[in-house]
């Protein structure tokens, strides 16, 4: 079987697609990836026989020239995807969202190729909404999916596929910190690195000395702000490692007593699979406020704390961190509550749906 995976833009779309690609190759399928230049940054370990880069732009662009450019990019993307799908002989195309997903899915549906959708967030994204009406299935990662068009085919909760590196550490038990070292991981991606550096480094530096001296901080921060953040930690006597990117992030999550992160779908899913307590800061400008809704799967069971971006200051962060880091028993309860909040086995479930789709047991 030959399947094409359409995803792009961010790791939140690319990592689930990679998980399905890994499962597909394990089943002997051939895989083609349709993505854009932004998504291509995440493909170093992406298993596929072919990779096609599409031009893509936001359909929500403002201004007449930006909108015209977006339309041209969409049309060009449809043309490129159509040729690639025909040459590959795709049996199905599975879309994971992101700008390049839209032209790929529209090209497939125009050519009569079976399509399916996987939505990582608790709100169906705009690219996925465009294709949902003609898709054979809409799989979703969170228990509830908002903004689903009325004429949508089969809905199926599969959970979010996670990378093999996440599954490899999924059974790592949480080790309560007690009165020993406190391992703290901070990452915010491109939309959080600068803000988190300005807020959480001084917040941690303002903690009581007995807590500061126990901290072992791993902080993802942009190269531009790295020296300043490191100096803040050094002056406060906090042991810290800073970098703009960590290739072994799943292992670092497993090693943590508390994780500070955005509440993107991948982050929430990985926290659930590994089972770690967290302090979440939803991205304010996320489409349809989906990150705040994502966070609820953990905050509703007290597996995570939450600070809205408008409320995030060094003072509010310091208060929240003091409460969490001072209570080893609470961190343990949060870790237990986080574990398994999202459906597991998502990559296999999604591959099964794809097989049913191609076999005609689902509508094309």
Q: 290-328, pLDDT tens digit by residue?
A: 999 999 999 999 999 999 999 999 999 999 999 999 999
- Binding residues, by number, are 10-12, 121, 163, 190, 291
Neighbours of 198 (CB within 10 A): 17
Average pLDDT, the chain: 93
SS3 217: strand
Token representation of residue 128:
């996925």
Cα gap 17→123, rounded to integer Å: 18
Return the structure tokens found at 100: 């390049």
Compute CA 313 distance to the chain's CA centroid, rounded to the nearest angstrom.
25
Q: What is the mean pLDDT of residues 1-12?
A: 92
pTM: 0.88
Phi-psi region of 256 (alpha: psi -120 to 50; beta: other; left: phi over 0): beta
Residue 278, pLDDT above cutoff 90: yes
pLDDT at 60: 61
Residue 1 confidence (pLDDT): 96
CATH pick for 168-338 out of 3.40.50.1820, 3.40.50.2000, 3.40.50.1440, 3.20.20.10: 3.40.50.2000
Which DSSP state fits 117? E
Residue 34 has pLDDT above 80, yes or no: yes
| Distant-in-sequence, close-in-space partners of 173: CB < 8 Å, separation ≥ 6 | none
Return the pLDDT at 12.
86
Distance CA 20, CA 307 (A): 33
Is 362's pLDDT higher than 80?
no
Give the model's pLDDT for residue 52. 97
Q: State the pLDDT at residue 73.
A: 79
pLDDT, residue 249, reads 94
Select from 346, 356, 326 the least CA-distant residue to 163: 346
| Residue 118 φ/ψ region, left for φ over 0, alpha for ψ in the -120 to 50 degree band, beta for the rest | beta
So what's the pLDDT on residue 191? 65
Phi/psi for 107 (5° steps) reads -65, -45
Binding-site sequence positions for UDP-N-acetyl-alpha-D-glucosamine: 10-12, 121, 163, 190, 291
* Mean pLDDT of the 213-221 span: 97
Q: Which residues neighbour 327 within 8 Å (Cβ) at sequence distance 6 or greater?
A: none
Q: Taking 80 as the threshold, does the pLDDT of residue 68 lie above it? A: no
What is the C-alpha to C-alpha distance for residues 253 and 277, in angstroms, rounded to an integer?
10
Task: Summarize pLDDT for 163-214 with one digit per residue, the tens.
Answer: 889 999 999 999 999 999 999 999 987 666 789 999 999 999 999 999 999 9
Superfamily for domain range 2-161+345-359: Glycogen Phosphorylase B; (3.40.50.2000)
Instruction: State residue 55's pLDDT score.
Output: 83
For residue 61, the model assigns a pLDDT of: 60
Say what the pLDDT of residue 287 is.
86
Whether 2-161+345-359 shares its CATH topology with 168-338 is answered yes
82-96 mean pLDDT: 98
Residue-range domain boundaries for the chain: 2-161+345-359, 168-338
């Amino acid at each position: 079987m030959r399947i094409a995976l359409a995803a792009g833009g961010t790791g939140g779309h690319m990592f689930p697609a990679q998980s399905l690609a890994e499962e597909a190759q394990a089943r002997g399928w051939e895989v083609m990836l349709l993505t854009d230049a932004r998504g291509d940054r995440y493909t170093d370990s992406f298993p596929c026989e072919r990779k096609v880069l599409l031009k893509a732009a936001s359909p929500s662009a403002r201004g007449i020239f930006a909108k015209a450019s977006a339309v041209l990019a969409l049309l060009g993307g449809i043309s490129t995807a159509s040729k690639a799908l025909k040459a590959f002989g795709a049996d199905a195309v599975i879309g994971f969202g992101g700008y390049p997903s839209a032209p790929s899915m529209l090209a497939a549906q125009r050519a009569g190729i079976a399509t399916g959708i996987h939505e990582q967030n608790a709100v169906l994204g705009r690219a996925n909404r465009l294709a949902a009406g003609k898709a054979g299935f809409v799989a979703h990662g969170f228990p509830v999916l908002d903004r689903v068009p009325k004429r949508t085919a089969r809905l199926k909760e599969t959970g979010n596929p996670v990378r093999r590196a996440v599954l490899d550490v999924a059974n790592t038990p949480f080790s309560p910190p007690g009165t020993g070292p406190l391992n703290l991981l901070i990452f915010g991606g491109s939309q959080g690195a600068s803000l988190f550096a300005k807020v959480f480094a001084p917040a941690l530096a303002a903690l009581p000395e007995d807590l500061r001296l126990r901290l072992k901080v791993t902080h993802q921060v942009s190269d531009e702000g790295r020296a300043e953040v490191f100096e803040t930690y050094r002056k406060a006597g906090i042991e810290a490692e800073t970098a703009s990117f960590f290739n072994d992030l799943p292992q670092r999550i497993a090693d943590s007593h508390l994780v500070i992160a955005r509440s993107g779908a991948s982050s929430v899913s990985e926290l659930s699979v590994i089972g770690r307590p967290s302090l979440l800061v939803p991205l304010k400008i996320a489409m349809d406020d989906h990150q705040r809704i994502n966070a609820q799967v953990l905050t509703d069971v007290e597996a995570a704390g939450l600070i809205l971006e408008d409320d995030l200051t060094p003072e509010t962060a310091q208060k929240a961190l003091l409460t969490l880091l001072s209570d080893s028993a609470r961190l343990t309860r949060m870790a237990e509550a986080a574990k398994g909040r999202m459906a597991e086995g998502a990559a296999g479930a999604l591959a099964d749906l794809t097989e049913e789709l191609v076999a005609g047991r689902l509508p094309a």
